[in-house]
């Protein structure tokens, strides 16, 4: 079942790159006591993700922070090394946290997995954006397959008022 507005996010261990290498980070640590914009996507270095999705959040990060967002999380079913390299390529720096869901544990737990096995990509994430306030989903925009209309940074900015 797909997570819905009003639901609490599950407690899942994810991974991020640190100066000492990959390190576990709990979803509770990422979301507890914070207002967070999370956007999930099929994969690092893929066309729409690299051309528009991640860059849009980097460009609009200051505006999102000005709307009371404490952090922005990019989540993908990739490993921490790939997420780190992709984030560096797009100057995510301290603007967007590049979080790896290498085994798709979080993605499956929130019901947003996408089976791209026929294309040689395995299980990935659907394209979405959500606003999470203290671990509870307050906005969830899931894209229709092949679309990029409701999970972009501009749409989330408008939704935040």
pLDDT by residue (tens digit) across 98-108?
A: 999 999 999 99
Question: Is beta strand 123-125 parallel, antiparallel or unpaired with respect to 128-133?
Answer: unpaired
- Residue 133 in any domain: the answer is no
Token readout for 95 is: 């603007």
pLDDT at 122: 67
pLDDT at 132: 98
CB atoms within 10 A of CB 50: 16
pLDDT at 19: 95
- Residue 136 in any domain: the answer is no
Q: Find the CATH number of the domain harbouring 30.
A: 3.40.30.10
- Residue 93 in any domain: the answer is yes
Domain limits for position 103: 15-127+145-159
- Residue 134 in any domain: the answer is no
- Residue 83 in any domain: the answer is yes
Q: Which residues of the chain have pLDDT under 70?
A: 120, 122
Of 25, 41, 49, 156, which one is the catalytic site residue? 49
- Residue 36 in any domain: the answer is yes
126: which strand partners?
none
Annotated active-site residue 49? The verdict is yes
- Residue 7 in any domain: the answer is no
- Residue 55 in any domain: the answer is yes
Question: What SS3 class is residue 40?
Answer: strand
């Amino acid at each position: 079942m797909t997570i819905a507005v009003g639901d609490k996010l599950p407690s899942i261990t994810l991974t991020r790159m640190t100066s000492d290498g990959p390190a576990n980070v709990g979803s509770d640590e990422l979301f507890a006591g914070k207002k967070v914009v999370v956007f999930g996507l099929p994969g690092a270095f893929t066309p729409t993700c690299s051309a528009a999705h991640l860059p849009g959040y980097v460009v609009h990060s200051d505006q999102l922070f000005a709307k009371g967002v404490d952090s922005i999380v990019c989540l993908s079913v990739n490993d921490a090394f790939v997420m780190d390299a992709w984030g560096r390529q797009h100057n995510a720096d301290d603007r967007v946290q590049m979080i790896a869901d290498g085994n798709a544990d979080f993605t499956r737990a929130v019901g947003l997995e996408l089976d791209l096995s026929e294309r040689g990509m395995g299980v990935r994430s659907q394209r979405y954006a959500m606003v999470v306030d203290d671990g509870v989903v307050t906005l969830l925009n899931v894209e229709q397959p092949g679309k990029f209309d409701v999970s972009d940074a501009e749409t989330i900015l408008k939704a935040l008022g």
